[in-house]
Amino acid sequence: MVSFRVDEDDFIQLDALARQTSCSRAEVLRRCLRGARLKSTVDAQALHEVSRVHANLNRVGGLLKLAIREGVGDRAEHFRLNHELREAVREVSRAVERLAGLR
């Protein structure tokens, strides 16, 4: 076992790396010593979430376009689809903010 002190800035950086990689602080240090590349699991999760929401946006947009073009549904149905599309856009925005570290 190795024990040593670090200043607060280094500790904060080590803690952030551990959270981003879903590893313990000790594992982060071991990987750094081996020269291994640290992969962020947070980015992978956010990317998966953005991809999922993007697929929903495409689906809802296609349905809305079809409904308007074909005259399918009534105004209330168009309103519901438009609302669903807006909510999906908000979801994408939130996911992008998380990915960018803004939230």
* Whether residues 53 and 35 fall in one domain: no
Which residue matches tokens 């903010």? 97
pLDDT digits (tens, 9 = 90+) for 62-87: 877 887 788 777 778 778 877 888 88
* Whether residues 57 and 83 fall in one domain: yes
Cα separation, 30 vs 23, in Å, equals 10
Q: Residue 52: which pLDDT band, with cuts at 50, 70 and 90?
A: confident
Helix (H) or strand (E) holding 43: helix 41-70
* Whether residues 68 and 90 fall in one domain: yes
53 neighbors 84 (Cβ within 8 angstroms): no
* Whether residues 12 and 52 fall in one domain: no
Query: What's the predicted TM-score (pTM) here?
Result: 0.43
Question: Which residue range forms the structural domain that includes residue 8?
Answer: 1-39
61 neighbors 69 (Cβ within 8 angstroms): no
* Whether residues 59 and 88 fall in one domain: yes
Determine if residue 66 is left, alpha or beta; phi over 0 gives left, psi from -120 to 50 gives alpha, anything else beta.
alpha
Both tokens of 76, joined, read 């209330």
Which residue matches tokens 């790396």? 17
* Whether residues 30 and 50 fall in one domain: no
pLDDT digits (tens, 9 = 90+) for 3-49: 889 999 999 999 998 888 888 999 999 998 899 888 776 666 777 77
Total domain count for the chain?
2
* Whether residues 72 and 93 fall in one domain: yes
* Whether residues 94 and 50 fall in one domain: yes
* Whether residues 89 and 53 fall in one domain: yes
